[in-house]
Structure 1
Amino acid sequence: MTLITEQGAVEDRFTRADTLEAALAADGPVLIPLWLVAEYAKVRPQAEFGLSVTGSTAIEDVAPHLAKVSLVAVEFAAFADGRGFSLAQKILREGYQGVLRASGPLIADEFADALACGFTEVELPETLANRQPVQQWLAAKDTMSDHYQSGYGRGPSILQKRHAARKGASA
């Protein structure tokens, strides 16, 4: 897997674990699925860990665990499945301030959108990382400077800019 931030490729501190035994055997922080969180937190209450959820997971299922985790990885089933972007926004509205990771078959053209939705990093399967190297991802993040949705991305939306321009023209 390749892990990309706004600054480029980084090493992953987390080890994925799908069973309690694997999580307990890992050195350092682990990334575990939602169904394993309660059991792991009971056995290792002070351990640093991350939570892995699918894009279709309800925020009500994720929210109770946000204060315990330092990473939330939202798993994308396909690059055309936008539910993970919506879930990221909901996670941030819950007050989560840790690392938010988009994981799965995303494409470089989605990097700007991922960052605008609050993701701090993207984890790619090696097959996609080989087809679209890190340099392509970094170039793609700067291709979109404007956005239509309010509360999305950095700075005012296109609509907010138009309203401000009209207000300035009529003054």
Structure 2
Amino acid sequence: MPRIIKNGAIVEEHGPEVLDLEQWLQSEDRARRAVVLEPGETLAPLLEHIDDIPLVLVNFPTFMDGRGFSYARELRERGYQGELRAVGHFIRDQLTYLSRCGFDAFQFEDESELEDALESLGDFSEFYQASADQPQPLFRRRA
């Protein structure tokens, strides 16, 4: 079992079976299976079933591919409440931004990075702009 960062802690991954988008759409038992999104795929088919998906994994083929940030934000803004996990090639320095977009779990290619990555989630104590994890900008929160 791989180890991941989930909800601010390092845990053993015990998630549901993971299918690619096409397999997931063909599945009769979607509510018990996770779906992985690849860059360039559309979110539209997921939005019809947003309340039934236990886990969405978003693949980052390279740390420079930012489409996953947009997927996360759109899913959260559309009401997705399940686990949203970043997988693939992202870097420790991106974790704060990934979590601000709505990711609550992170699966690194190299598990030896987990301890340092977990620490990085506390690098910033306050944010000026609004985001998926804090819908009000700082000036509104201080009013």
Task: Provide the TM-score with structure 2 as the length reference.
Answer: 0.84
CA displacement 1:138-159 (0-9 Å, x = unmatched): 21111123334323443743xx
CA displacement 1:121-164 (0-9 Å, x = unmatched): 001113xx33x2x221121111123334323443743xx42x78
Kindly report the root-mean-square deviation, in angstroms, between the aligned alpha carbons of the 2 structures. 2.4
Give aligned pairs, total.
142
| Identical residues among aligned pairs (%) | 25
Q: Aligned runs of 1:7-156 on 2, under 5 Å?
A: 7-14=8-15, 29-41=16-28, 44=29, 48-126=32-110, 129-130=111-112, 132=113, 134-154=114-134, 156=136
Task: Provide the TM-score with structure 1 as the length reference.
Answer: 0.71
Judge conservation of contact 1:32–1:49 (CA < 8 Å) in 2.
Answer: yes
Equivalents in 1 of 2:121, 2:45: separation in Å? Answer: 31
Which structure has the larger Rg?
1
**Matched letter for residue 93 of structure 1:** E
Partner SS state of residue 51, structure 1? strand
Equivalents in 1 of 2:42, 2:129: separation in Å? Answer: 22
More helix per residue: 1 or 2?
1
- Give ranges in structure 1 of 5+ residues lacking alignment: 15-28
Equivalents in 2 of 1:93, 1:164: separation in Å? Answer: 20
**Matched letter for residue 145 of structure 1:** S
Superposed displacement of residue 79, structure 1: 1.2
Judge conservation of contact 2:60–2:90 (CA < 8 Å) in 1.
Answer: yes
Label 1:146 to 1:56 Cα distance change in 2 as closer, same or farther (>3 A): farther
Equivalents in 2 of 1:73, 1:164: separation in Å? Answer: 31
Equivalents in 2 of 1:118, 1:144: separation in Å? Answer: 16
Judge conservation of contact 1:105–1:125 (CA < 8 Å) in 2.
Answer: yes
Partner SS state of residue 90, structure 1? helix
Partner SS state of residue 88, structure 1? helix
